[in-house]
């Protein structure tokens, strides 16, 4: 079943709300998609007819298993394009989201599979978000915010919670990106700031606010 761009954007918006454990209400979606509640109701009826969502006035919009599968494919396309733009075309990771918002709507399966193959089947996008596989399955890795990470253990940056361009540029200046290896030397009790050390660099301190927005994973010595 081919969906329109508008339908895909609704599916994605509902998925986003559900993944944040927020009920997708007509008003909530209207605000998120900058449209009117009446337009959301129209679309809700359309999506329900296609069995992509279940919709009841007071319970909001919920993705059906088929709706969720579509959502995973849209997200897969979005995140693969972000990888391509950063790794192959040299865009900054703060520049690619809005481009991927458009590219994600190209639904040629052969194109997407060749893209995935060309990129050697990445598991994470440049922001550290996991990429669903071709079957639409998402493997989520355990993320720890840097502000709560274990001290003196090898850590790898797995993603960022806040994807604002300002934060991404700040991290880039500090040499921090998904995959960066580091250790926490000290977490200061006074203000929660975190002293870290990247490989072959002298240590520096990040504010608690920044550390809260960086996710890391521990990894073995090998």
Nearer Cβ to Zn ion, position 78 or 149? 78
Long-range contacts of 203-209 (CB under 8 A, 24+ apart): 204/174, 206/146, 206/174, 208/147
**Which of the stretches 96-104, 108-116, 146-154, 209-217 binds Zn ion when contact is defined by CB under 5 A?**
96-104
CA distances from 30 to 10, 47, 50, 120 (A): 10, 15, 20, 38
| Least CB distance to Zn ion at residue 37 (A) | 27
- Between CA 64 and CA 128, with CA 74 as vertex, the angle to 5 degrees is 115
Q: 156: which 2 tokens?
A: 């790898």
Rule CB under 5 A: say whether 97 interacts with Zn ion.
Answer: yes
Tell me how far, at minimum, the Cβ of 97 lies from Zn ion, in Å: 4
- Footprint of Zn ion on 99-138 (CB under 5 A): 100
CB 169, min distance to Zn ion, A: 16
Using CB under 5 A as the binding rule, whether residue 12 contacts Zn ion is answered as no
Nearest residue to Zn ion, scored by beta-carbon proximity: 97
- The CA distance from 19 to 199, in Å, is 34
Name the residues that contact Zn ion, by CB under 5 A: 97, 100
């Amino acid at each position: 079943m081919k969906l329109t761009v508008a339908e895909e954007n609704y599916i994605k918006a509902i998925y986003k709300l559900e993944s944040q454990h927020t009920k997708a209400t007509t008003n909530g979606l209207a605000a998120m998609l900058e449209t009117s509640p009446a337009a959301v109701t129209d679309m809700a009826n359309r999506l329900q007819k296609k069995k992509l969502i279940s919709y009841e006035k007071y319970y909001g919009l919920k993705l059906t298993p088929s709706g969720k599968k579509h959502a995973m494919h849209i997200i897969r396309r979005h995140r693969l394009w972000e990888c391509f733009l950063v790794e192959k075309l040299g865009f900054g990771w703060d520049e690619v989201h809005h481009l991927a918002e458009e590219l994600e709507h190209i639904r040629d399966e052969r194109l997407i599979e060749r893209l995935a193959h060309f990129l050697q089947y990445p598991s994470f996008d440049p922001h550290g978000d996991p990429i669903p596989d071709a079957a639409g399955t998402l493997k989520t890795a355990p993320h720890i915010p840097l502000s709560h990470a274990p001290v003196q253990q090898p850590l790898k940056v797995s993603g960022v919670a806040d994807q604002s361009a300002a934060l991404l540029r700040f991290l880039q200046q500090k040499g921090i990106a998904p995959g960066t290896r580091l250790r926490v030397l000290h977490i200061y009790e006074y203000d929660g700031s975190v002293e870290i050390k990247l490989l072959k660099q002298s240590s520096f301190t990040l504010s608690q606010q920044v550390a809260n927005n960086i996710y890391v994973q521990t990894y073995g010595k090998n």
